[in-house]
Structure 1
Amino acid sequence: MEAVAVFTTAWTASPQLPAVGFTPNWSQEGFWRQSLRQVVRIGAGGGRVRIRLSNAYGTSPLRIAGATVARAGEGAGVEPGSLRRLTFEGAGGVEIPARGQVASDPAELVVEALESVTVTLHLDAATGPATFHAQAFATSHRGEGDRLDDLDGDGFGETSESWYFLSAVEVDAGRTDGVVLFGDSIVDGFGSTPGANRRWSDALAERTGRPVLGAGIGGNLLLNDSAWYGEKGVRRFGRDVLDQAGVEAVVVLLGLNDIGFSETDEQPTYKPAPVVEAEELIDGYRELIRQARGRGLRAIGATLLPFGGSDHWGERAAKVSREVNGWILGAGEWDAVVDLNEVVADPEDPDRLRGVYDFGDHLHPNDAGYEVMAEEVAGCF
């Protein structure tokens, strides 16, 4: 009897409601008679590839007329000889129900860990507003008509820095040592160089040799839903962490937006922003720990980063942040802890990010900051 291949999630993006977003995107207008080519970097290699597509926030069925996968070339191009047609239960296309998802059949394609692949979707019927991931820090491409077999990418004339419908890429790696980073824009890679794969998740994958999945959503909250910034962490944890294949640990870095959104009146997308105390966040973390352990995952807590000088800063927010970090480090409730606050803090002013690690908004690290964070977290593995 032939052995059943064990698939491992090699890349993921957490689905979000269609929204205006941080940069212009196509989520609200959707797609019609167009092809969408997306480039993603995978964290595991294998001989077969399959994808997962999400219509989680769709209000009507989503028709996928066809799909292909290939090793990425330059720009929107693909590596010659690597293009493969994807099927769905043997069919060339599929209809995904509103609020549903679907997995493709495996396609024979040899891929290596840390290389990029393209996934191309032909969307021949009006999709309506599109389930998407706002901040990709990578370029997606759109072209008119059926561009599934386009090799050089010249037919893709429009670009976006978001991902649409694509929620996971899986390979038959048979690995069970994957790590999920769960959190907000810092997990998402805000402040890293776009198109360069310099996110925190990329840096950790390079250091550990493990599949590392970024399950961050910019602006995400642990305790409250947001029209702009995704479902609350305690609710989306099951979909974005526990449902990933081949994962053995999760690192949680989430809560700074819960603390800091109420400190400013200048950003309307931060509203509503309830005033949150440390005890409420700790209860939320305990719920994540409970969910993770219920599925046999190690739960690793990361301290909140310094944010002095940012639009999240204020006396109350600073107090709550210190209380939360004290609990993370001292309560003994996580399976392991990592003090990222200390790693990136300015030695002369510990409430602030060290200048060489500051993207410029006093809230998000830059490429160098993500590197030292990855080095610290790598010690847990």
Structure 2
Amino acid sequence: MKRTVLPLRAPRATAVIALALAAVLAVPTASYASSAASASAGSPARPAATTPVVTWGASADRLDAAVADQTHRVVVRTSAGGSGLRVRLSNAFGEQPVTFGRAYAGVRASGAAVAPGTNRALSFGGAASVTVPAGGSVYSDPLPGTVRPQSDLAISVYVRNAAGTATGHRMGLQTSYIAPAGDHAAEESATAYTRQTGFRFYLDAVVVDAPPGTGAVVALGDSITDGAISTADTNRRWPDFLAGRLRNDPGSVLKGVANEGISGNKVLSDGAGVSALKRLDRDVLSQRGLRTVILLEGVNDIKATPAPTAAQLIAGYRQIIDRSHAAGVCVAGATVMPYEGWGEWNAGGEAIRREVNAFIRGSGAFDAVVDFDAAVKDPAAPAKILPAYDSGDHLHPNDAGMKVMADAIDLRSLRCDR
């Protein structure tokens, strides 16, 4: 059977995945159906109340042409741990329906291989298959078990029928894998996954049920947030370092981190991905457990030709703040980082950057300020990144710069009363 979903956000499911790798994770042997039957019979005690929290995310965008009869194995690193794992599959940019034949989740061993005994079948409304209409998305059902924080999962999705444009994420500095023909979602072996890709096809969020009161942070940004120039396959983007800090902070209830960066993205206009204003609801405000948005956008607007004025960019920030506040979400404004030496830098853009940063720091419009500019700039040349943090292109930080950015965030400031 297959289930067709409406082009609306699916109702919250309490999906669970427990995966075991080298005795780190434990997988229950009972199937979801048998577990549900036991619960209805009153055998096990009802689980304690939990909070759904996004543990991984990647912004949806237009990819290449959709291809049917392929299996995608997407590798993700969790942030928050918990039970109730479910995945969200997106057809946000598709012009035609896409049918996902089967989907599995398991612990990634290495490369495209899944740790033996951990690959588990996902379902959608009780069915193995689901058809998602153009513009739609769907969450999977519960999968029994628990998942540890900061573990690598392999989400395998067989695309049975698809045409037109595929939806997914273009850049994330994480290798994923494609089996070019047939359904190989259930296989733990890497043998069929003969193609590597930097794209993340169709998967745009993973959610767990975390302890009560747990919350999430979403990083809304451009290539710097997406991880450009950081070392691939090592999880050294600044949101990854932030996730590690939050995990190790016993005083913080914010444990989930979703990276919603798109390389080249702008606040005001479309280009590399639709604008931050247009994607705010889908990529950010829809995320489960969201408490705080960290907004690091603006450099691509400023270095564009023609560039908006500082007042226009600030007006865009205010829209994001107002819409987030209306949803009960805090917004931390991150200062626009220096980029002199990049080919599009000019004195006019630098003046706009400084005016925008003065607003972020001093207006009081944001619930908190994250001063990335101060963290990475060269004190001797404030329009430039400090060489120790410069990847070499004078715009994107290297791994050390990414860590300095995350370390500059006052974790206490990420919570506000909303």
Q: With structure 1 as the length reference, what TM-score do the two structures score?
A: 0.91
Q: Name 1:344's counterpart in structure 2.
A: 376
Please show how residues 185-264 of structure 1 align to structure 2 within 5 Å: 185-209=223-247, 210-226=255-271, 229-262=272-305
Instruction: Tell me the SS of whatever aligns to 1:293.
Output: helix
C-alpha distance in structure 1 between counterparts of 2:93 and 2:152, whole Å: 27
Structure 1 letter corresponding to 2:121: R
Structure 2 letter corresponding to 1:100: G
Q: Name 2:184's counterpart in structure 1.
A: 147
Q: Name 2:68's counterpart in structure 1.
A: 32
Q: Name 1:162's counterpart in structure 2.
A: 199
C-alpha distance in structure 2 between counterparts of 1:126 and 1:290, whole Å: 38
Measure how far apart 1:223 and its partner are: 0.4
Structure 2 letter corresponding to 1:70: G
C-alpha distance in structure 2 between counterparts of 1:148 and 1:339, whole Å: 43
CA contact (8 A) 1:32 1:125 kept: yes
Please show how residues 1-381 of structure 1 align to structure 2 within 5 Å: 2=46, 5-18=50-63, 28-143=64-179, 144-174=181-211, 175-209=213-247, 210-226=255-271, 229-262=272-305, 274-379=306-411, 380-381=413-414
Instruction: Tell me the SS of whatever aligns to 2:283.
Output: helix
Measure how far apart 1:6 and its partner are: 3.3
After TM superposition, the structure 1 stretch with the greater mean CA deviation from structure 2, 244-253 or 169-178, is: 169-178
Q: Name 2:38's counterpart in structure 1.
A: none
C-alpha distance in structure 1 between counterparts of 2:147 and 2:115, whole Å: 12
C-alpha distance in structure 1 between counterparts of 2:99 and 2:372, whole Å: 43
Number of aligned positions between the proteins: 359
Gaps of 5+ in 1: 19-27, 263-273
Deviations 1:234-260 (A, max 9, x none): 121111111100111111110110010
Measure how far apart 1:90 and its partner are: 0.4
Measure how far apart 1:125 and its partner are: 2.3
Q: With structure 2 as the length reference, what TM-score do the two structures score?
A: 0.83
Instruction: Tell me the SS of whatever aligns to 1:283.
Output: helix
Measure how far apart 1:158 and its partner are: 0.3
Instruction: Tell me the SS of whatever aligns to 1:72.
Output: strand
Measure how far apart 1:176 and its partner are: 3.3
CA contact (8 A) 2:230 2:398 kept: yes
C-alpha distance in structure 2 between counterparts of 1:45 and 1:281, whole Å: 37
Determine what percentage of the aligned residue pairs are the same residue: 39
Determine which structure has more spread, i.e. the larger CA radius of gyration: 2
C-alpha distance in structure 2 between counterparts of 1:127 and 1:48, whole Å: 32
C-alpha distance in structure 1 between counterparts of 2:266 and 2:200, whole Å: 21
Measure how far apart 1:89 and its partner are: 0.2
C-alpha distance in structure 2 between counterparts of 1:89 and 1:247, whole Å: 25
CA contact (8 A) 2:54 2:257 kept: no
CA contact (8 A) 1:257 1:312 kept: no
Stretches (4+) displaced over 3 A: 1-6
Measure how far apart 1:81 and its partner are: 1.4
The two structures, once aligned, show a CA RMSD in angstroms of 1.4
Deviations 1:75-112 (A, max 9, x none): 00111111110110000100000111111101113211
C-alpha distance in structure 1 between counterparts of 2:50 and 2:386, whole Å: 46
Structure 2 letter corresponding to 1:168: A
CA contact (8 A) 1:43 1:113 kept: yes
Structure 2 letter corresponding to 1:68: Y
CA contact (8 A) 2:53 2:215 kept: no
Structure 2 letter corresponding to 1:13: A
C-alpha distance in structure 2 between counterparts of 1:303 and 1:34, whole Å: 42
Structure 2 letter corresponding to 1:343: A
CA contact (8 A) 1:82 1:109 kept: no
C-alpha distance in structure 2 between counterparts of 1:29 and 1:347, whole Å: 47
Instruction: Tell me the SS of whatever aligns to 1:113.
Output: coil
CA contact (8 A) 2:97 2:162 kept: no
CA contact (8 A) 1:44 1:173 kept: yes
Gaps of 5+ in 2: 1-44, 248-254
Deviations 1:244-292 (A, max 9, x none): 0011111111011001022xxxxxxxxxxx3210000111111111011
C-alpha distance in structure 2 between counterparts of 1:146 and 1:377, whole Å: 44
Structure 2 letter corresponding to 1:82: T
Measure how far apart 1:172 and its partner are: 1.4
CA contact (8 A) 2:57 2:204 kept: yes
Measure how far apart 1:348 and its partner are: 1.3
Structure 1 letter corresponding to 2:372: L
